[in-house]
Amino acid sequence: MAFTIAIIGRPNVGKSTLFNRLVGRRTALVDDTPGLTRDWREGQGQLGDLRINVIDTAGLEEAAPKTLEARMRMQTERAARQADTVLFVFDARAGVTPLDRHFANWLRKLGRDVILVANKCESAAAEAGLTEAFELGFGEPIAISAEHAQGLADLHALLRERVPPEALIQPAGQEREGKGEEDGAPGSTEAETEKRHPIKLAIIGRPNVGKSTMVNRLLGEERMLTGPEPGITRDAIETPWSWGDREIRLIDTAGLRRKARIYDRLEQLSASDTIRVVRESHVAVLVLDATVMLEKQDLTLARIVVEEGRALVIAVNKWDLVDDPPAALRKLRDRLEISLPQVKGVSFVTISALHGRKLDELMKAVIAAHDAWNSHLPTPKLNRWLQGATETHPPPLVEGRRPRLRFVRQVTTRPPTFAIFGNKLTTLPDEYMRYLTNSLRDTFDLPGVVVRFTLRQTKNPYADETES
């Protein structure tokens, strides 16, 4: 069982930098601009022999009720209540500010266990701030530099006193004692092994199409900030979740506008973070606004998913606002058929995230897309398919000779990739390769899956004799 700590403080004191340091990778966006973090983020971290669950929160600010800042503060309070210990971080170079004092009183009223952390202590300029910190009433502060990894041993010592024995990392030999069959153990099939691995599910789309609302509905709680303001979500927030017997890593991302319209540095950081998430995901759900339907930017996002070789599912949100559903469905199917031939037959589900309609149907489509994306086809069946496909529609003649496709085998999954062996394969036109791709999808029931082929020329045994 992991010990949970929440990192709390006013904006720009280095909370996200400390979060990245503790989880061991750069997952939280970091910039000098105050207020970059809005939703709270969780990550599994390690500090020495401690296994910890770390929560990064939005910067605490005073705000009027019902504003975005007020909703951010409510999210931070929820994170603090879930944590075993709160790390209250302040900027030692700036000293203790009135806002630090205000939120120190707020933390005392919450009644949480608090460790006072003085960040940015890599220089002598922090000495005055360390002295002032005693007035906050949380005892002696720990002097650290999250950016330079200084002072973490002192933080470890204080946390070590608080964690239960089960949060300690056991030696490798002891950790496996008493465990049953694991991945790759005898008796476990490849399909069963795959089911034990979480599916990384990225939720992508343009701003204000309802991505965060959909994530909240799936999770059954107000985990993500939502509201009428455009661009509330700034960075990718990953949340562990399960649907049925499948473990899911649900990732909400920032809305992506057309590249030509992105001027702000923070939006550029958010866009780069979203692209990173797509590359690392298994399945991407592209959320559309049914009142606008399929715009050019939606197609651009779909093509990014396809180019990265990820599985794609389309969620058409706000379907309850559509006046003529049958006509809208026909228009969507026609547009997908023309604009996304690379994933012919891609699954799409009409939903209402606000009212929670058809979300189970959406998740069934996600699981089906993931399983197809992981599918491995037997070589004998593939070769029977290739023989039938080439007999039904032979390759076109090139310089009086027809390319010969001898045999095929699958070389990898995720996405399914196949190697075709034969002669004069480099002369095969793109139209014929599209025919093979669609034929394979139809034969093996892989609709909407990215399929890749590599062409491998077989060696001519008479080449040396001909040259001599």
The reported pLDDT for the residue numbered 243 is: 93
Same domain, yes or no, for 25 and 145?
yes
The reported pLDDT for the residue numbered 178 is: 44
User: Residue 6: helix, strand or coil by DSSP?
Assistant: strand
Which of 108, 143, 175 is at the close of a domain? 175
Same domain, yes or no, for 116 and 230?
no
- In-domain check, residue 318: yes
The reported pLDDT for the residue numbered 14 is: 86
Same domain, yes or no, for 369 and 448?
no
Which of 354, 373, 392 is at the close of a domain? 373
The reported pLDDT for the residue numbered 182 is: 45
Q: What is the DSSP string of 64-78?
A: -TTSHHHHHHHHHHH
How far apart (Å, rounded) are the C-alpha atoms in residues 54 and 20?
10
Same domain, yes or no, for 121 and 9?
yes
- In-domain check, residue 32: yes
Same domain, yes or no, for 367 and 399?
no
How far apart (Å, rounded) are the C-alpha atoms in residues 432 and 434?
5
Residue type, 166: E
Q: Spell out, as residue ranges, where the chain has pLDDT lower than 50.
A: 175-189, 191, 465-468
Which of 121, 150, 175 is at the close of a domain? 175
Long-range contacts of 159-163 (CB under 8 A, 24+ apart): 159/3, 159/5, 159/47, 159/50, 159/52, 159/85, 159/115, 160/48, 160/49, 160/50, 162/3, 162/84, 162/85, 162/113, 163/3, 163/50, 163/52
- In-domain check, residue 362: yes
Locate 275 and state its tokens: 């692209």
For residue 40, the Cα-to-chain-centroid distance in whole angstroms is: 15
Same domain, yes or no, for 164 and 27?
yes
How far apart (Å, rounded) are the C-alpha atoms in residues 409 and 347?
26
Strand 237-243, strand 246-252: pairing: antiparallel
- In-domain check, residue 184: no
Give the residue among 108, 16, 91 at the shortest CA–CA distance from 7. Answer: 16
Task: Report the run of H or E that residue 143 belongs to, with start and end.
Answer: strand 142-143
The reported pLDDT for the residue numbered 116 is: 94
Same domain, yes or no, for 247 and 361?
yes
- In-domain check, residue 195: yes
Locate 78 and state its tokens: 């929820």
The reported pLDDT for the residue numbered 165 is: 81
Instruction: Report the chain's C-alpha Rg in angstroms.
Output: 27
Over the stretch 27-63, which tens digit does the pLDDT of each residue have? 655 555 555 566 677 888 888 888 888 988 876 666 6
How many independent structural domains does the chain possess?
A: 3
Same domain, yes or no, for 259 and 170?
no
Same domain, yes or no, for 415 and 348?
no
- In-domain check, residue 317: yes
How far apart (Å, rounded) are the C-alpha atoms in residues 153 and 221?
36
The reported pLDDT for the residue numbered 170 is: 67
- In-domain check, residue 182: no
Same domain, yes or no, for 334 and 420?
no
User: Residue 119: helix, strand or coil by DSSP?
Assistant: strand
Looking up tokens 């202590």, which residue turns up? 121
Domain CATH for 244: 3.40.50.300
What's the domain range around 156?
3-175
- In-domain check, residue 180: no
The reported pLDDT for the residue numbered 346 is: 92
Give the residue among 343, 211, 356 at the shortest CA–CA distance from 277. Answer: 211
Give the residue among 176, 117, 172, 105 at the shortest CA–CA distance from 141. Answer: 117
Same domain, yes or no, for 21 and 100?
yes
Strand 246-252, strand 199-205: pairing: parallel
CB 249 within 8 A of CB 288: no
Q: Is the peptide bond before 98 cis (omega within 30 degrees of 0)?
A: no
Task: Report the run of H or E that residue 201 belongs to, with start and end.
Answer: strand 199-205
Instruction: Spell 329-361 as b/e; 16+ CB within 10 A means b.
Output: eeebeeebeeebebbbebbbbbbbbbeebbbee
Same domain, yes or no, for 215 and 127?
no
Domain CATH for 443: 3.30.300.20
The reported pLDDT for the residue numbered 179 is: 46
